[in-house]
């Protein structure tokens, strides 16, 4: 049964899409079957994995127009379900309370084919994001070291706690990893990392912490439609992603 991992931060540009592609590929390299679902209407992940011309997309699947298996396209060592611009209509179209279970329900149909299923999310609190919370077993929160603010980490944490409580909890997701992105060996970044470690201690899930060093290759590899572990396998960013993938796997109770 595949473990479902949501990559979530309501802030844009913190490295969600990059982390999803590179962690998925690092794990797939360890002979795991990995699926990635692009739930962001911007479709960056679909573009960077060359899945963007494939139809049907996750939109037709959520609309129950197409079976989920038809939306899967193999992109190198991972499988991808691409996004669609039509996802921008999701907040208006999926308005029934039960609609928040749609993604979870369709994932259930293919879950036993995979070891890990990642969900890349857009930068907004939306119905789609709620669907991701419902479907996820585990959550990764990427944050940017650059501005030192750790924006969004507490918001995701508070949402999860709220969704896990109450009469009818809608998620069982555990925060597994805080991923500090674009890390450099400066005093400011070290302080940011310490602040993140403190958060991890205070969060009841005690997520592990991984740092990804800043590197232009993280952006460059995208124009070549390659994950960083193929584009620059011996570089800092690729090595950091391999370490982060190992931490994640062990955090969710698997062997590396
Ligand atoms: N380790 C890194 N070093 C330098 N730039 C990075 C790194 N990780 C990601 N980036 C760049 O930061 C930008 C935002 O990353 P992205 O993954 O698209 O964020 P999000 O999906 O949260 O909006 C992209 O241009 C990406 O290539
Ligand atoms: Mg993104």
CATH number for the domain spanning 234: value is 3.40.50.300
Distances (CA, A) of 247 to 204, 240, 250: 18, 11, 5
Residues with CB under 6 A from ligand 1: 12-18, 44, 123, 181-182, 212, 214-215, 218-219, 222, 237
Instruction: Specify the residue with its C-alpha closest to ligand 1, atom 27.
Output: 219
Question: Against a cut of 0.85, is the pTM above it?
Answer: yes
Give the number of the ligand closest to the Cα of residue 40.
2
Give the number of the ligand closest to the Cα of residue 146.
1
184-199 pLDDT, tens digit each: 999 999 999 999 999 9
Number of domains present in the structure of the chain: 1
Let me know if residue 55 belongs to a domain. yes
133-145 pLDDT, tens digit each: 999 999 999 999 8
Strand duo 78-81 + 73-75: pairing: antiparallel
Report the 10 Å Cβ neighbour count for 216: 10
Instruction: Specify the residue with its C-alpha closest to ligand 1, atom 23.
Output: 13
| Number of helical H runs and strand E runs in the chain | 11, 8
- The dihedral through the CA atoms of 184, 188, 193, 196 has a sign that is negative
Instruction: Specify the residue with its C-alpha closest to ligand 1, atom 25.
Output: 219
Let me know if residue 188 belongs to a domain. yes
Range of the domain at 102: 3-251
Let me know if residue 73 belongs to a domain. yes
69-109 pLDDT, tens digit each: 999 999 999 999 999 999 999 999 999 989 999 999 999 99
Let me know if residue 256 belongs to a domain. no
Instruction: Specify the residue with its C-alpha closest to ligand 1, atom 13.
Output: 13
């Amino acid at each position: 049964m595949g473990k479902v991992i949501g990559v979530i931060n309501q802030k844009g540009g913190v490295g969600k899409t990059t982390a999803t592609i590179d962690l998925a590929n690092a794990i797939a390299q360890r002979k795991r079957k990995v699926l990635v679902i692009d739930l962001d209407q911007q479709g960056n992940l679909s573009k960077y994995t060359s899945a963007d011309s494939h139809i049907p997309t996750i939109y037709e699947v959520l609309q129950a127009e197409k079976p989920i298996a038809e939306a899967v396209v193999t992109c190198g060592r991972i499988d991808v379900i691409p996004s669609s611009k039509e996802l921008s209509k999701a907040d208006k179209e999926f308005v029934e309370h039960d609609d928040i279970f749609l993604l979870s329900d369709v994932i259930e149909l293919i879950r036993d084919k995979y070891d890990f299923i990642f969900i890349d999310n857009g930068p907004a609190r939306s119905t789609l994001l709620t669907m991701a919370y419902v479907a996820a077993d585990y959550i990764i929160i990427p944050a940017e070291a650059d501005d030192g603010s750790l924006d969004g980490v507490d918001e995701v944490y508070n949402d999860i706690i709220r969704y896990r409580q109450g009469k009818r909890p809608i998620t069982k997701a555990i925060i597994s990893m805080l991923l500090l992105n674009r890390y450099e060996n400066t005093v400011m970044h070290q302080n940011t990392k310490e602040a993140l470690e403190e958060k991890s201690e205070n969060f009841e899930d005690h997520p592990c912490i991984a740092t990804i060093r800043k590197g232009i290759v993280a952006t460059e590899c995208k124009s070549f439609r390659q994950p960083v572990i193929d584009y620059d396998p011996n570089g800092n960013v690729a090595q950091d992603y391999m370490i982060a993938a190992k931490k994640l796997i062990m955090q969710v109770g698997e062997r590396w």
